[in-house]
Amino acid sequence: MKRVLFILCTAVMALTAAAQTSDTRLRQSLDDAKARLVEFNTERMLDSLDQEKLPRLVSGGIMAGANLSNFIITRNHHAMSSYMRIGAELGGFMDFRITKHFSVQPQVVFTAHQNYFAATDTANHLWSFGADIPIYFLGRFGNMQKGYIQFGGGIFTHFTFASNIANKFKNVEESTATDPATPTTKPVDTHDYSRLYSLHDNHFGVAVTVGYEFPIGIQINAHYKVSLSDIAGFYSENKGKEIADALIYPQSVSLGLAYRWK
């Protein structure tokens, strides 16, 4: 009887030990499987981040391009018009990323503008050199690693450093002269409108932009800027009746290349 009890106890203990061993192996297998699953998911997540890298929180770059500029003339009681001519620009920018698809981008762009400004039957070649300081609010769509489209709008301020008009306007109403040989009245050039720009060198306005950035950081961008401030107001004191009643707003469109450091 004792032998039977001993054999039974030994069998129970053996079965218990086997069960515990099996349970331990099962738990170890489950833990190993969990570890491999976590490792696999982590690698997938890292691979996904590598494939879709976000741009830096702060980045910058340089830009250059060509522009066309002229004036929008309203309340034009005298025959005045403005014709676009080509100019150039060069500058840089800083980009502050707010989210993956949105950023704020201030720029400083040195500009050379020119156009033909015609009044009282005389066309005058106007050129100016200055700087635009726009602030754009940009949206971006596409793969940040493979290239994306960006577009947005904002505000800008323009400062003019130098400007000139090749000819003076003829103002028949304000000043005339009589040639003794011929008693006809001839117009006399009395006004220098070369400071048309520089007297209002702080005009401001709105701007829009659209472009595309390639994976290597090179961008193609187009911009349009139009002033909201009138640059002809200083002639309201009877100094130039040709434009005393008019409102003149500069505008420009530009196309160029840029490079953003990543």
Q: Which of 56, 91, 226 is nearest to 155 (CA)?
A: 226
Within a 10 A sphere around the Cβ of 227, how many other Cβ atoms?
21
Is the domain spanning 55-261 CATH 2.40.160? The answer is yes
CA-to-CA distance for 11 and 63, rounded, in angstroms?
86
Please give the pLDDT value at position 213: 94
How many residues would you count in the chain? Answer: 262
Please give the pLDDT value at position 74: 80
Question: What tokens appear for 62 in the block?
Answer: 């340089």
Q: Which of 117, 128, 119, 191 is nearest to 164 (CA)?
A: 128
- The reported pTM is 0.67
Q: Which of 198, 256, 197, 233 is nearest to 62 (CA)?
A: 256
Please give the pLDDT value at position 174: 39
Please give the pLDDT value at position 154: 97
C-alpha 21: how far from chain center: 68
Which positions of the chain have pLDDT values less than 50? 49-52, 168-180, 186-191, 199, 234-240, 242
For 34-61, the pLDDT digits (tens) are 666 666 666 565 555 444 455 678 999 9
Please give the pLDDT value at position 142: 84
Strand 122-143, strand 147-165: pairing = antiparallel
Which residues make Cβ contacts (< 8 Å) with residue 93, sequence separation at least 6? 60, 61, 62, 63, 105, 106, 107, 108, 258, 260
Question: What tokens appear for 81 in the block?
Answer: 């018009």
